[in-house]
Every structure is written in C-alpha cells, then in structure tokens.
Structure 1
Amino acid sequence: MNTEIGRRQMLKGLATIAAAATATGATTARAQTAPSATLPAGNPGWHGFRMGDIDALVLSDGPLAQGDPTKVLQGQPEDVIRETLRNNHLDDQNMTLDQNVLLIRSGDRLALFDTGTGGAPAFGDDPGKLMSNLAQLGIDGASVTDVVLTHAHPDHVWGLSSEDGTANFPNAQVHLHEAEHGFFTDPQNDSHPLLGPFMPTCRTELEAVADRITIFRDGDEVLPGVHAIAAFGHTPGHSCFRLTSGDKSLLLAGDLAHHHVLFTRYPGIKFGFDTDPDQMVQSRTKLFEMLEAERMAFLAYHFPFPGVGHLDRFGDGYQWVAAGLDNTF
C-alpha cells in the first residue's frame, strides 16, 4: 500500500476524530440528556493491496446467506460441523459467506475476476453491492477491459448485467473455461438436478456477451501473468488463477473452498452444489498442498472479507491465517 496515501488517510482520520471530540466537548450537557445516536453497521466495500507490479482491489458484493450449514455440507457429521463452528465463535445454525471480487490493474488492462449476483432478488437485499462499490471508487464498468470468470454459477456471472438487462461491463472481453462454457450454454442442462432452476438465467447472461467471450483451457495464460489452473468438480470447468508479477504469486481461488474454517479444517468436506463432489475434493487437496508448500497467498471468493490469507497445517487439515489489511505481497 502507498505509504504517502496511508499517511494522508491516517492524518485525515486523526483530524476527524479531533473535530468530533471538539464538537462533543461543546455539547456535553446536551449529550448527557439526549439519547445516544445509533452508530452505523460495518459496511466493507473495498480493500486495496499490491502484488509486485500489480495494483489490486478486493470489492465486496455483499454477504450471501446459506442457512443451516448441515443442509448444504456433506462429508462430516452434523455434530462435528456445529461444534467446529461454535469452537470458532461462529453461528452453528446459520452460515453466511462473503463475496470477494478481485479487480487488478496491470499495464493497460483493468481486469475483474467474477461479477457477483447482479442484485438479483433471488439472493435477498444484502448481495449485489459490486456496482455501487465500483461507483463509489469512481470506476465506470465501461472501463473494465476483461472479466475473468472462475465459473458460471449465479453468484459469479449474474453481475454481467443489471436487473434491466443492461451490460455492466460493455467493453470487456469475458474469459471462460471451455468446459464451463459448454455446460452452461447447453439447454439440455436446464433439467440438471442441482442447477436446473438457475441454468436459463446463467445461459442468458452468457449469450448476452457471446460475441465477447474468449475461451481458455487449463494452463492457458488468460492475461499477462495470469494462468488458469484446473479446479474441476464444483462445476465442470471451475478454474483458479495464478497471478504472477516478478517473484510474487497469488492464487485467485474462486470456490475452491467455501468456508474459512470448515473447508480448511476438513478439506474432504463437500458442498451441496458441487456437480462432482469427489472431483472437487481432489482439486482442493492438490491446490491446498501447493499453497502450503509454496507459502503462497490466496484470495478465496467466499472467505471473510477481503478473503486474502495463507494456509498453515493444523492436525489432519489446515487453518486459514487472514492477511493483515496493509499487506504488500
């Protein structure tokens, strides 16, 4: 993070605190009799960091409620899931996942990785914040040159357009794995037992950008310094991406793991929306081993905002160590 920017932000913050303290001192008597104002709830919108020569931002699309974790996770007994959550000070009855969208500027490219839910009512009022967070930063969707998709689930592709069908990123090349494109554009999969209800809208989103789609395969350099890594199983073409700048690397992990505790402590756990759960466990096992061996930072789409951290061994599994908010990788 830029030191000068950090110092200016700190001084601005100190000035704000000082001004607030002065105002508070001037109104002490009134404050003693007036009811306390309610402070606003936290609203993380973006977090910037730097990796080598790449400037990066993680933007939140908002939280995604999953309900009872034992209804969407398999591979561990119900009592183990609930106890593990409680032991980590988490709600054992309701699981909520974050949505962390990566934006990078590298050379003349402004690339977005996944697009969030697009504010679709099916996900409730909390998700769908990506475009407003971009707007608050003064970033026009039309300036995005590339949208790189880890996969085509609704919470990753429905943000390609707004609710009225307007393209959110009208000038962007859209990059998607060959197998993923074939699966999600095939009308025969509308009857898929897991994804059938979502398939028509996913297909509509992809058809709307058909003339701008670039197909990639495992190992391809999708953008300069961005290589695709197969992580199949969650969907037929689910992909991670290794971002490299100089001697620095970061894995954009997509949905390799959905929960920062349960999926790291128990890498063999399975998610209810995996098209091939066993294959997904194999993908996760392989890439977790790589992350731990190389001590590589990674960004997980659904981990607590901003989703950047490392893996350390913990018993038979791992533990996620969140990165600090002022890291340069």
Structure 2
Amino acid sequence: MTITRRKILAGLGASAGLAAAGPVWSATQLGEMRIDTLSDGNLVLPGEFVFGPMPQDALTPILERYGLSRDSLTPECNLTLLRDGERVVLFDAGSGPDFQPSAGKLMAAFDAIDLSPEDVTHVVMTHAHPDHIWGLLDDFGDPLFSEAAHLIGATELDYWMDDATIDSIGAARQAFAVGAQRRLEAISDRITTFTDGEEILPGVLAHASFGHTPGHMSFELRNGSEGLMVVGDAIGNHHVAFAQPGWPSGSDQDAETAAATRLALFDRITADDMRLIGFHLPGGLGRVDRQGDGYVFIGEDA
C-alpha cells in the first residue's frame, strides 16, 4: 500500500462522525497546577502509515490484543491545558478546520470549561505537524490565541522554516511542510524558542525527544517530588509503541531516533514513577506499567 498525501489529509469519509466521549477527558492536580486533557477530535489514518515498516507476523497478535484493524486507525487527539492562577498554558493548538473533518474540535472543549482563546497566555508546541499547529490561526489567517506567547524548540522551528524541507521531506508530507511554514510565519513576531533542558516556564522543563520530527520536544511538569510528562507524539499510540517501543513506526520521520527516544522516555517515566499525557493516547492521561519485555498504558478517567 502506498501512502499518499491525499490519503493522509482526507482520511476515510465514513469516519467524520466519530467523536470523543466528551470534550474534556481528564483532570489532575500538581500542587497549584490544574492540568486538563482536552479533545480535539480524532484523526483517520491508513494503517500502513504507522504499521508499514514493522515486522508484520509479529504485529498480528498485538493488533488482535487491542482489537485494531491493519487497514485504518482513528487515534484520538488530546491537548494538554495547564492553569495555575496566573498562567493558562496550552500544549499544542490542534488541527483547526483545514486538516481532517473528524479533528479540529478544540473550541468545543474550551466552551465546556468556559475558556476563550484570548484567555490563553502561552502556547507551547511539541512539534509542527498539522494536528498540532494548524489550529494556531483563525478563519481569517490571524493568530487565534491573540494574547499568548508562542514557544517552540529551536531545532524544530529551524527545520520547518528551512525552504529545503519542502523538497526533502517526501511527497506524502509536503503539505505538512507548506502548512507549517505558513502558520509559523504568521506568528513569527510572537515566537520564543528554547533548547533541551530549559525551564521554559516555572515548573515546565523541556526535554528533547527527537525522531518523530527532527526537533520534537516533550515537557516535564513538576511540583516537588511529583511529576508528569507531556510526551506529544514521542510515544504515539497505546498499543505498538508500548508493547514494542523499539520497533520502527511509519509515522516517525526518523524511525531509528524515534525508537531510541521512546525507550529513553519509558525508562525515565517508570524510574521516576511519573504519569504521562500523550497526544494520541486514549483519554490522554495515564500511567505506564511494565509488561514482559514491553509496557502497557493504564489510562486515568476524570
């Protein structure tokens, strides 16, 4: 099966009616920080987009265990919102209206918690794929989060703003590059960059988690001894990424680096007994348990 831009962007028409159980999936506290996971809907992807480079015979029992189709996937999209009385920090901006009809539902979640885009003080980006930043602009092409500072890793910004990326990224992802550059240019006067290991905001530490994209970043939210890791797409699903984190995934731009990143993240999260929020994990928030040679995701409800 050949993955084309048309298949990725259009998805499957029958899935457009799929929706999350509610716009706000879960909530937790870290000291004064309230952390919610907000639904942006879901994507519809050809299974090959993730499963293509994996050992197919060994993949079969994992698909059966999780009741998954080899042909298509409908991963949830879950954004993280941090509020501490002074700041309203949104991690990623969702798909907006122009990526897939089943996604771009963030404003329903905002309505459910009586929040407006103008209330957001910071937008922190894990990476610049469409389902993470195409929601940065409103219907008129202006910044949607008009009062917010926007933060992105320096390596990630440099990659997407390099004109050579459009030619080198491959035909299936060329639209990703064009869309990222347009949106990042539109907010260029309000972007701040950061690097690995920086405390970008009080209690928010940036961790390089390269591989899914060249400059993907994860974020450790911490209050004293208690921590939570926002992993974006560095751990991109609740099934194969946990059961076989060392396997290559077709969704990653650098599969070898991404696999090493997943293994390192699992080591850190389990060693520190942290919870995590993953953009495409069911409900977003959960814990990691060891299971044999791999791991299992244990989700937490609100």
Query: Which TM-score applies when normalising by structure 1?
Result: 0.81
- In the other structure, the counterpart of 1:272 is 250
Contact (CA 8 Å) 1:70, 1:78: kept in 2 or not?
Answer: no
- In the other structure, the counterpart of 1:45 is 23
Contact (CA 8 Å) 2:19, 2:42: kept in 1 or not?
Answer: no
Which of 44, 69, 79 is equivalent to 1:65? 44
Contact (CA 8 Å) 1:233, 1:274: kept in 2 or not?
Answer: yes
- In the other structure, the counterpart of 2:214 is 236
Q: Which blocks of at least 5 consecutive residues in structure 1 are unaligned?
A: 1-39
Instruction: Compute the displacement of 1:42 (Å).
Output: 5.9
Contact (CA 8 Å) 1:75, 1:268: kept in 2 or not?
Answer: no
Does the alignment pair 1:170 with 2:146? Answer: yes
Does the alignment pair 1:143 with 2:119? Answer: yes
Q: Deviations over 1:1-55 (max 9, x none)?
A: xxxxxxxxxxxxxxxxxxxxxxxxxxxxxxxxxxxxxxx9863200322122211
Aligned-partner Cα distance in 1 for 2:239–2:103: 22
- In the other structure, the counterpart of 1:112 is 90
Bigger CA radius of gyration: 1
Instruction: Compute the displacement of 1:65 (Å).
Output: 0.9
For the aligned residue pairs, the C-alpha RMSD in angstroms reads 1.8
SS of alignment partner, residue 108 of structure 1 = coil
In structure 2, the CA distance between the partners of 1:105 and 1:220, relative to structure 1 (3 Å rule), is same
Aligned-partner Cα distance in 2 for 1:136–1:297: 24
Does the alignment pair 1:211 with 2:212? Answer: no
Q: Deviations over 1:232-264 (max 9, x none)?
A: 111111010000112210000111121101110
Which of 289, 292, 295 is equivalent to 2:273? 295
- In the other structure, the counterpart of 1:286 is 264
Contact (CA 8 Å) 1:70, 1:81: kept in 2 or not?
Answer: no
Q: Deviations over 1:152-210 (max 9, x none)?
A: 11110101013431321011111000010101111221112153222121111111111
Which of 179, 183, 207 is equivalent to 1:201? 179
SS of alignment partner, residue 195 of structure 1 = helix
SS of alignment partner, residue 81 of structure 2 = strand
Q: Which blocks of at least 5 consecutive residues in structure 2 are unaligned?
A: 1-17
In structure 2, the CA distance between the partners of 1:117 and 1:42, relative to structure 1 (3 Å rule), is closer
Instruction: Compute the displacement of 1:137 (Å).
Output: 2.3
Which of 155, 159, 163 is equivalent to 1:179? 155
In structure 2, the CA distance between the partners of 1:126 and 1:71, relative to structure 1 (3 Å rule), is closer
- In the other structure, the counterpart of 2:11 is none
- In the other structure, the counterpart of 1:317 is 294
Aligned-partner Cα distance in 2 for 1:232–1:211: 25
Aligned-partner Cα distance in 2 for 1:243–1:269: 28
Aligned-partner Cα distance in 2 for 1:74–1:294: 33
Aligned-partner Cα distance in 2 for 1:105–1:227: 16
Does the alignment pair 1:252 with 2:207? Answer: no
Amino acid in the other structure paired with 2:216: H
Aligned-partner Cα distance in 2 for 1:197–1:91: 26
Aligned-partner Cα distance in 2 for 1:117–1:309: 23
Amino acid in the other structure paired with 1:185: M
Amino acid in the other structure paired with 1:105: R
Does the alignment pair 1:133 with 2:109? Answer: yes
SS of alignment partner, residue 151 of structure 2 = strand
- Mean CA deviation greater in 194-203 or 218-227: 194-203
Aligned-partner Cα distance in 1 for 2:79–2:254: 24
- Identity among equivalent pairs (%): 35
- In the other structure, the counterpart of 1:55 is 34
Query: Which TM-score applies when normalising by structure 2?
Result: 0.88
Contact (CA 8 Å) 1:73, 1:269: kept in 2 or not?
Answer: no
Aligned-partner Cα distance in 1 for 2:42–2:159: 27
